[in-house]
Structure 1
Amino acid sequence: LDDEGEAVAADLGDSARYLHLDVTNDDDWVAAVELAEQEYGPINLLVNNAGVVSFGPVGELPPDDFRRVVDINLTGTYLGMYYSVPSIRRAGGGVIINISSTAGLVGYAMVPAYVASKWGVRGLTKTAALDLARDNIRVMSIHPGAIRSAMTAEITDEVTAANPIPRMGEPEEVTKLLMFLAADATFSTGSEWIADGGEVLPPVVELFEEN
């Protein structure tokens, strides 16, 4: 992954830097914040995007797998904020965007750790929004549905065909939402922003017969 990260940074140009970051490791977060401040000055935008999933029903998913998912998805999000907030304060304020999931809005079978962690990110975001508002720091969560990625490689367009928008989402569609929240949504904090093609909407009920 380090080679891939270096390649992405190179493609982005001279203003991009790559740094190996294990989101569960305190020292890695300290190093990341230090590098960001050295290269760009105080941080004004943090995106907590790391996430993993393990499959298995409640009662069968091994506890170590549960802990690993929660440690990365939820504790990693907290550590990102913990180590970045002092820098964001030095910037005079900024934005924190935590990537949750539609699994942070509803329940899904076979992924108890993932669901628990993403509900946790949702609640943590709201608490952070309250704690940091007077520091001019807005905090929001994005809840993607089935977005085309390595994690969703086994999900096909056929699986999402019943959604109101009957297809997989593209990473760029989440990025556009993220950029809007970071730049233009200046009166929004603690909010949940959903990008799922209508996946979590209630089923459509036909109230009237067509003539």
Structure 2
Amino acid sequence: MTLFDKYSSLFFSGFGYTIMASLIALIASLVLGTVFALLQLSKKKGWAMLGNGYVQFFRNVPLLIITLFFYLAVAKVIKMTGFAAGTIALSLYTSAFIAECVRAGILSVDNGQMEGALANGLSYGQAMRKIVLPQAFRIAIPSLGNQFINLVKNSSILAFVGGLDLMYQGNIVAANSFDTFTAYMIVGAFYLVLTLPLSYFMQYLEARTQENR
């Protein structure tokens, strides 16, 4: 019996938790990143400072520190599992990088797009939502794709707080089997199963976007 056959239930359990954490963090970080990108570009100084402060803080603090803060400090006030602590930390950390991607995309859209929308009676919010942001996201697809792939790989941070993810289960298999090399090669293969299709999908989206311009 191979190592994979013997511990397949653990590997697939961790794989499921990794997918779940990645999906939750992807959606949350995309929403948060967009919000804070807009705050950074706000003409109101207070909002712009808030957006810049958020982005600079989470970009410059290691993900492990953020994760341990939620697991060791916040969990004393609000009860949460290692999975929840890791997923929240992953979402906040990644959102700072996504905010920069979205902000760059918005700045790449010609100012005339916003001016034309406002001249046609749209409010600033409507113009941003219907005219500017769709174009900004298309421009930012390559950099967003890189961040999404990094997010999946960074989900391994959950292993440090008992998040039951793929790396956590890999650690258990390695400790029980004493076959560390094989255990982590299997873990690496599972990550490839997630990241390679995502990479190709983002390349496909980028190509379709280029065709439609």
| Larger Rg over CA atoms | 2
More helix by share: 2
TM-score with structure 2 length normalisation? 0.28
Q: Which has the higher contact order (CA 8 A, sep 6+)?
A: 2
More strand by share: 1
